[in-house]
């Protein structure tokens, strides 16, 4: 017998089948892709249980999943809809299982996650296939388990292991679950056979174990300490603390009251902005790699990289980590040696943290072949250029690559801002040229902006989106413009920060207000980290195109004119002690700010934190809306993915475009218009925002 066996079965609902196997009934969840526990699944299982319990020919019941897994949990698309609360709820289904005199066994293959594991916890026994994963990942969506998981899991495996599982959201594999007491048996062979035998062997027993009736001891567990250990910066901090509340409730309250308390906390979270934001991101991240245009992804075997500097080295590591063979080319031996030494050092740091063993370090290094001969890039299927950010240098490199690389090879540039079309125009194969904009450190940051040029081929785009996912990145397809999506939006964000300095805020106040809002770093500390000289060069390059009538803050230029480029020169918006990354206030900068304000005729005033957050955030939102309107991003949620994964935007706020939606699009437009009245032209509202508000839309 196998999980896909078509023994005579009947449909109990669109998503649940019922079959008899001898003296056992099998209830199959059949709701692709992951058997989510939507309303029809819950109703079908409830009905199946009633049938099996009433049938004198049935001695035991197995609940199993069709397809690739037992059950992936609640159907999160139904959250905040009436279907989510339609009876029977999961709690009613589990009550029916617990009331059954006939043993009910969960047959778990693939995974049992979230509500799927809660359903299994409600069963008398759990038999898992070797390799199956069991977990309660609700915290990742800013939630706590809402179907009894926080009450039953501690009763089965103990308070501390349960807290760890619920707070981390990390699943256990079948072997670990067996050791923890979460499953009763692991099946090496056919799971359904094993589960049926397990159930029938126990059919004669007078009673069966019910997790919710087990005694629970919380001896020595310090719940306050567990709450205090939650990282307040974690995107799901609220949910993690609520998870502690739930488990504590399990130790204090009888089961029914504990389930009520869990549900109360779940309902509060599901209605809250933080969980809505995290659920938005969950879908946004899944959606991001999807592109229209119908290209076919080709195979990438060997990867070539030019430039072993900050980015080239990180990109080489990202590919090597995923098992790709990499050729890393540099223009001279010293630069190549420096680059390879840094890669080795980075791997050794990872090993020192216990995340990689010595063999792992050597294997990763062995996959990166250093080279001073451009011919070595000839066999590469994908070549990524990460040399200096200078159009003439990049064009020269692309001419050489065009001559050397095999036909069909993809030629990519890691440029942060330069025009891909101008680079492509230097080659005889513009359809093969694309931007792959990695973020620093490239072996860590998950975001990849895939920049499509005017002539980039659909297959080339599809290949790059696929390869990005193979190396663990979230690719977002963007169009050519100054700074693409992420860096283009930064321009307005930094512009407002500069204006706010002149108007009366200090660097510390601006960075403090935005980090309290949730940004990983404030804009000025971030400029110091990235290197102020890079933006300075961009401003100089763009100066001829800057409209003369628009206000311009000279603060950043003046700081750079003193040779202060940020952390690398131990001075930028802040000063830095040797060897330290700690930004310290600097009176020199205060003086520059006061001087710039005086020259611009600005009378400095107290600026509130609220104004700082509003102006910096709305600058992001307005530019984001223009980017969507121009088709530079495929969708609003892609802009959110870029900001959360590339720029330290707080996940619990869902990204700038989602944040605007939580403010309300009409309210956002109203605020932008008010800023336009006071501050003028920079604040012309994006046409898309105006249109969406005219249409009465609540989303972009
Ligand atoms: P870097 O100065 O650290 O490294 C550039 C490397 O390229 C140097 O090692 C240099 O020797 C080498 N190089 C120069 N010309 C070469 C040539 N003709 N052939 C081979 N090697 C050559 O610079 P980086 O920070 O790694 O930036 C590289 C590219 O990545 C730039 O286009 C930059 O805009 C982009 N980028 C940088 C970041 C970042 O945060 N640093 C982020 C995203 C993108």
Q: Cis bond leading into 33, ω under 30°? A: yes
> Per-residue pLDDT averaged across 93-111, rounded?
98
| Res. 267: pLDDT tops 80 | yes
Query: Would the pLDDT of 83 be above 80?
Result: yes
**Which value, to the nearest 10 degrees, does the dihedral of the CA atoms of residues 335, 389, 314, 568 take?**
80
Q: Pocket of ligand 1, candidates 304, 308, 310: which has the most ligand atoms within 8 Å of its Cβ, to mutate?
A: 310
Helices 255-271 and 149-157, axial angle in degrees (round to 10): 130
Q: Which two tokens stand for residue 538?
A: 């961009």
Q: Is the pLDDT of residue 276 over 70?
A: yes
**Four-point Cα dihedral 481, 484, 486, 487, nearest 10:** -60
362 is catalytic: no
Query: In this predicted structure, what is the pLDDT of residue 183?
Result: 98
**pLDDT tops 50 at residue 633:** yes
Q: How far is the CA of 616 from the centre of ligand 1 (A)?
A: 29
**What is the 129 CA–ligand 1 centroid distance (Å)?**
48
Q: What's the 311 CA to ligand 1 centre distance in angstroms?
A: 6
Partnered with residue 584 across adjacent β-strands are 575
- Residue 84: predicted pLDDT: 87
Residue nearest to ligand 1 atom 39, measured at CA: 440
> How far is residue 54's CA from residue 142's CA, in Å, rounded to a whole number?
40
Question: How confident is the model over 679-694, as a mean pLDDT?
Answer: 96
pLDDT at position 6: 43
pLDDT over 90 at 219, yes or no: no
What pLDDT does 13 receive? 81
Work out the pLDDT band at 10, boundaries 50, 70, 90.
confident
Look at residue 207 in the predicted model and tell me its pLDDT: 95
Q: Are 431 and 459 in contact (CB under 8 A)?
A: no
Mean pLDDT value of segment 426-437: 98
387 lines ligand 1 (CB under 6 A): yes
Q: What is the pLDDT of residues 584-631, one digit of tens each?
A: 999 999 999 999 999 999 999 999 999 999 999 999 999 999 999 999
Query: 217 falls in which pLDDT band (50, 70, 90)?
Result: confident
Give the whole-number percent of the chain exceeding pLDDT 90.
94
Distance 367 CA to ligand 1 centre (A): 21
Q: Report how far ligand 1's centroid is from the alpha carbon of 343 (Å).
A: 15
Model confidence pLDDT, tens digit, residues 486-508 = 999 999 999 999 999 999 999 99
Could you tell me if the CB of 385 is within 6 A of ligand 1? no
Name the CA dihedral angle for 194, 195, 198, 202, rounded to a multiple of 10 degrees.
Answer: -160
Locate the ligand 1 atom nearest the alpha carbon of residue 396 and give its number: 18
What's the confidence (pLDDT) of residue 75? 85
Residue 1 has pLDDT above 60, yes or no: no
Does the active-site annotation cover 138?
A: yes
Q: Is the pLDDT of residue 393 over 70?
A: yes
Task: Please tell me the distance from the alpha carbon of residue 342 to that of residue 684, in angstroms, as a whole number.
Answer: 46
The pLDDT tens digits for 513-565 are 999 999 999 999 999 999 999 899 999 999 999 998 999 999 999 999 999 99
Mutating to test ligand 1, I would choose from 304, 311, 393 the residue with most ligand atoms within 8 A of its C-beta, which is 311
Q: Model confidence over 15-47: pLDDT tens digits?
A: 999 999 999 999 999 999 999 999 999 999 999
Choose, from 47, 98, 138, 431, the residue flagged as catalytic.
Answer: 138
**Catalytic entry in 47, 98, 118, 188:** 118
**Does residue 307 line the site of ligand 1, with CB under 6 A?**
yes
pLDDT (tens digit per residue) in 145-194? 999 999 999 999 999 999 999 999 999 999 999 999 999 999 999 999 99
pLDDT value, residue 7: 56
Q: Tell me the HSE value of 194 on the side-chain side, using a 13 A CA sphere.
A: 18
Average confidence (pLDDT) over 217-235:
91
Is residue 292 classed as helix, strand or coil in its secondary structure?
Answer: coil
Which residue's CA lies nearest to atom 36 of ligand 1? 416
Name the one residue in this structure whose structure tokens are 């981390």: 168
Q: Is the CB of 309 under 6 A from ligand 1?
A: yes
Give me the helix-helix angle, 273-287 and 237-252, nearest 10°.
120
Q: Whose C-alpha lies nearest to ligand 1, atom 31?
A: 389
Q: Does ligand 1 come within 6 angstroms of the Cβ of 389?
A: yes
pLDDT at res. 4: 47
């Amino acid at each position: 017998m196998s999980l896909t066996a078509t023994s005579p079965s009947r449909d109990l609902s669109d998503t649940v089948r019922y079959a008899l196997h001898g003296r056992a009934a099998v209830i199959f969840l059949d709701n692709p892709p992951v058997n989510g526990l939507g309303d029809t699944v819950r109703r079908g299982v409830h009905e199946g249980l009633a049938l099996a319990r009433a049938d004198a020919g049935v001695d035991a019941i197995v609940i199993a999943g069709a397809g690739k897994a037992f059950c992936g949990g609640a159907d999160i698309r139904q959250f905040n809809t009436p279907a989510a609360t339609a009876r029977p709820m999961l709690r009613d289904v589990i009550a029916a299982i617990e009331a059954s005199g006939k043993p009910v066994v969960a047959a778990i293959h693939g995974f049992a996650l979230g509500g799927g594991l809660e359903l299994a916890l409600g069963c008398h026994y759990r038999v898992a296939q070797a390799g199956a994963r069991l977990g309660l990942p609700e915290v990742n969506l800013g939630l706590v388990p809402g179907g009894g998981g926080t009450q039953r899991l501690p009763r089965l495996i103990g308070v501390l292991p349960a807290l760890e599982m619920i707070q981390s959201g990390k699943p256990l594999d079948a072997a670990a679950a067996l050791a923890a007491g979460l499953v009763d048996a692991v099946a090496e062979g056919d799971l359904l056979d094993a589960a049926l035998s397990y159930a029938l062997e126990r059919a004669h027993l007078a009673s069966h174990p019910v997790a919710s009736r087990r005694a629970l001891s919380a001896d020595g567990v310090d719940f306050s300490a567990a709450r205090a250990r939650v990282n307040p910066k974690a995107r799901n901090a609220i949910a993690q603390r609520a998870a502690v509340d739930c488990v504590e409730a399990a130790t204090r309250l009888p089961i029914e009251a504990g389930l009520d308390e869990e549900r109360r906390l779940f309902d509060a979270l599901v209605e809250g902005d933080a969980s809505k934001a995290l659920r938005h991101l969950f879908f946004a991240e899944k959606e991001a790699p999807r592109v229209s245009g119908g290209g076919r992804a080709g195979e990438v075997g060997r990867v070539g990289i030019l430039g072993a500097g900050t980015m080239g080295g990180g990109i080489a590591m990202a590919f090597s980590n995923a098992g790709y063979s990499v050729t890393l080319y540099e223009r001279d031996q010293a630069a190549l040696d420096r680059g390879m030494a840094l890669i080795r050092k980075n791997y050794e740091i990872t090993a020192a943290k216990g995340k990689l063993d010595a063999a792992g370090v050597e294997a990763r290094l062995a996959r990166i072949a250093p080279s001073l001969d451009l011919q070595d890039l000839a066999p590469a299927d994908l070549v990524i250029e990460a040399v200096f950010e200078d159009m003439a240098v990049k064009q020269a490199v692309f001419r050489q690559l065009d001559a050397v690389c095999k036909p069909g090879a993809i030629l990519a540039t890691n440029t942060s801002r330069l025009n891909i079309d101008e680079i492509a125009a230097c080659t005889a194969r513009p359809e093969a040229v694309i931007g792959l904009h990695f973020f620093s450190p490239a072996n860590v940051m998950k975001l990849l902006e895939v920049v499509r040029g005017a002539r980039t081929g659909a297959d080339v785009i599809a290949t790059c989106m696929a390869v990005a996912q193979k190396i663990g990145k979230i690719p977002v397809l963007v169009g050519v413009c100054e700074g693409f999506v992420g860096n283009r939006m930064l321009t307005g964000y930094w512009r407002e920060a500069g204006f706010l300095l002149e108007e009366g805020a200090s660097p510390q106040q601006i960075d403090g207000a935005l980090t309290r809002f949730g940004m990983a770093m404030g804009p000025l500390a971030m400029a110091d980290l990235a290197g102020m000289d890079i933006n300075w060069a961009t401003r100089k390059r763009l100066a001829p195109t800057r409209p003369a009538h628009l206000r311009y803050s000279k603060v950043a230029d003046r700081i750079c004119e003193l040779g202060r480029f940020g952390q690398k020169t131990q001075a930028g918006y802040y000063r830095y002690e040797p060897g330290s990354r700690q930004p310290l206030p600097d009176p020199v900068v205060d003086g520059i700010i006061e001087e710039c304000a005086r020259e611009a005729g600005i009378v400095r005033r107290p600026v509130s934190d609220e104004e700082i957050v509003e102006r910096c955030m709305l600058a992001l939102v307005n530019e984001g809306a223009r980017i969507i309107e121009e088709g530079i991003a495929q969708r609003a949620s892609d802009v959110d993915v870029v900001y959360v994964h590339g720029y330290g935007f707080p996940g619990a706020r869902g990204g700038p475009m989602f944040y605007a939606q939580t403010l309300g699009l009409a309210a956002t437009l109203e605020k932008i218009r008010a800023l336009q009245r006071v501050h003028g032209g920079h604040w012309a509202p994006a046409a898309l925002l105006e249109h969406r508000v005219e249409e009465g839309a609540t989303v972009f």
